[in-house]
């Protein structure tokens, strides 16, 4: 289930399916809590509280997801666990910040990098013309075959759709190159 489908499920009060999809991220939170002085019950309570917060946020009218739901949920859990540790006075705040092991830090860095790449790809696709955007989304997101795309978009043949896809990708590459040049 995609993030958008999970959001739609929560907004239409079908939380069971959404929660089932979100529980695949629980092991990350369990590891966080267990390595920072908590136990399994703490991790479960924390995750449930984070899910409640996520549902409330999603149901707010101005909610806009700027990261993957897993990243958002993990961040909520980190902040909740920091607060819990402050209450328990087992760890000081500074210890928590520096207590991330290298594996966790690499994992988070990789998630952030993936998020940035996804945002960049979305920006480039949104800057393409409507037909290119539609063609690429049909091909890559909906995994439609070129013959189906040709029929849907009114192209004469599969080869025409293939050529258009190539031109759209070249245009996207050019926009990426332009973006990189203006960034540096």
Q: What is the pLDDT of residue 105?
A: 58
Alpha carbon distance 64, 67 (integer Å):
9
Mean pLDDT along residues 72-90 = 84
Average pLDDT, the chain: 82
Q: At residue 94, does pLDDT exceed 50?
A: no
Domains of the chain: residue spans and CATH: 1-103 (1.10.1740), 121-184 (1.10.10.10)
Of 118, 33, 119, 17, residue with least CA distance to 74: 33
Which range among 4-18, 87-101, 155-169 has the greatest average pLDDT? 155-169
Is residue 17 scored above 70 in pLDDT?
yes
Looking at the predicted structure, is the pLDDT value of residue 178 above 70? Answer: yes
Segment 43-52 shows an average pLDDT of 90
Residues 6+ apart with CB under 8 A from 121: none
Residue with tokens 């540096």: 184
DSSP string, 62-122: T----S-HHHHHHHHHHHHHHHHHHHHTSS-HHHHHHT--HHHHHHHHHHHHHHHHHHHHH
pLDDT score recorded for residue 91: 45
More confident residue, 140 or 80: 80
């Amino acid at each position: 289930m995609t993030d958008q489908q999970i959001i739609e499920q929560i907004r239409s009060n079908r939380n069971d399916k959404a929660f089932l999809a979100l529980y695949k991220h629980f092991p990350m939170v369990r590891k966080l809590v267990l390595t920072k002085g908590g136990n399994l019950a703490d991790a479960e309570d924390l995750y449930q509280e984070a899910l409640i917060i996520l549902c409330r946020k999603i149901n707010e009218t101005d909610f806009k997801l700027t990261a993957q739901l897993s990243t958002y949920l993990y961040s909520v859990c980190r902040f909740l666990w920091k607060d819990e540790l402050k209450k328990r006075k087992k760890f000081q705040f500074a210890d928590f910040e520096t207590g991330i092991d290298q594996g966790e830090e690499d994992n988070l860095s990789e998630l952030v990098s993936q998020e940035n790449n996804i945002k960049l790809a979305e920006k480039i696709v949104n800057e393409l013309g409507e037909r290119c955007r539609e063609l690429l989304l049909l091909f890559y997101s909906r995994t439609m075959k070129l013959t189906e795309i040709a029929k849907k978009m009114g192209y004469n043949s599969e080869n025409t759709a293939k050529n258009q896809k190539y031109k759209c990708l070249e245009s996207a590459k050019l926009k990426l190159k332009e973006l990189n040049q203006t960034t540096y």
